[in-house]
């Protein structure tokens, strides 16, 4: 249902300029831009997709759970060309998944609900290029006035430590390597959640680790077999991050 995003996200001249003007202008102009967009959604987009919204009004059956960064430049529905109802999205600073038991917060609740109530068959953890959270993990000096963000990003410490002790990468390469290792670390955390672990063991759930490049649109996906990231749309077999099931259902 590409049309849903055509009106809002595709970089037509008007929408790109409108976005810039809104941000460059006053707070009132920024908010007016949002309300104006809502008016266009109701007047132009909603009528065209009325059947879809009528179907969604009573239930959801998302194809996948999508855990990504809160960064405004990542639009899961746009880059996967998905419709409302397709993705169960959870976002936070650094696409973090706290290990089970450490925090009964929004991410853990969303995972449990997606797996147990919605029966999602795929969970994607998606990091991205130029991530402010990953920059802060590498250089936490800027977090002095943000104690909550600093505390949250301790869930990325495993990735930072791993890169620091194993990677001989240059300062310029460190951000990209850390971004990938953070996705791998959050996949590991994901597997500590009982609902996830049980369905992985039973072969009813797949997990995926992606890194999206804002500039090129490329997505690299983690392959647990090779321990490397490879293009999601490459010629070879799809990269697989899911561990082999141990209790296949009859
Ligand atoms: Zn980010």
Banded model confidence at residue 23, pLDDT cuts 50, 70, 90: low
- CA 133–ligand 1 middle distance (angstroms): 5
> Could you give the residue range(s) of every CATH 3.40.1050.10 domain in the chain?
60-250
Q: Which residues contact 13 (CB under 8 A, 6 or more apart)?
A: none
Calpha distance 79→140 (Å, rounded): 30
Banded model confidence at residue 102, pLDDT cuts 50, 70, 90: confident
What per-residue confidence (pLDDT) applies to 227? 96
Which is nearest to 97 in space by CA: 221, 193, 190, 211?
Answer: 190
Q: Which residues contact 248 (CB under 8 A, 6 or more apart)?
A: 202, 203
User: What average pLDDT does this structure show over 103-130?
Assistant: 96
pLDDT in tens, 57-78: 999 999 999 999 999 999 999 9
- CA 248–ligand 1 middle distance (angstroms): 36
Residue with token string 């810039």: 20
Question: Structure pTM?
Answer: 0.89
Q: Would you tell me how many other CB atoms lie within 10 Å of the CB of residue 182?
A: 30
- CA 155–ligand 1 middle distance (angstroms): 14
Which one is the CATH code of 60-250: 3.40.50.10490, 3.40.30.10, 3.40.1050.10, 3.40.47.10? 3.40.1050.10
């Amino acid at each position: 249902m590409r049309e849903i995003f055509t009106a809002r996200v595709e970089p037509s001249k008007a929408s790109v300029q409108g976005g810039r003007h809104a941000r460059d202008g006053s707070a009132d102009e920024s908010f007016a831009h949002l309300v104006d967009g809502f008016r266009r959604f109701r007047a132009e987009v909603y009528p065209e997709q009325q059947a879809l919204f009528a179907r969604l009004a009573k239930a959801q059956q998302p194809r996948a759970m999508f855990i990504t960064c809160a960064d405004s430049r990542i639009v899961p529905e746009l880059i996967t060309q998905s419709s409302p109802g397709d993705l169960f999205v959870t976002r936070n600073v650094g696409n973090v998944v706290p290990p089970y038991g450490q925090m009964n917060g929004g991410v853990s609740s969303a995972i449990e609900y997606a797996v147990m109530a919605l029966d999602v068959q795929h969970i994607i953890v998606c990091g991205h290029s130029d991530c402010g959270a990953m920059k802060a993990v590498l250089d936490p000096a800027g977090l002095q006035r943000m104690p909550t963000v600093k505390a949250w990003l301790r869930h990325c410490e495993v990735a930072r430590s791993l890169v620091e002790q194993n990677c001989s990468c240059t300062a310029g390469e460190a951000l990209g390597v850390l971004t990938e290792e953070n996705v791998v670390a959050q996949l590991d955390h994901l597997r500590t959640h009982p609902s996830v672990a049980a369905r992985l063991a039973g072969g009813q759930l797949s997990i995926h680790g992606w890194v999206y490049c804002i500039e090129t649109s490329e997505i690299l996906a983690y392959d647990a077999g090779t321990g490397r990231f490879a293009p999601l749309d490459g010629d070879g077999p799809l990269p697989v991050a899911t561990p082999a099931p141990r209790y296949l259902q009859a």
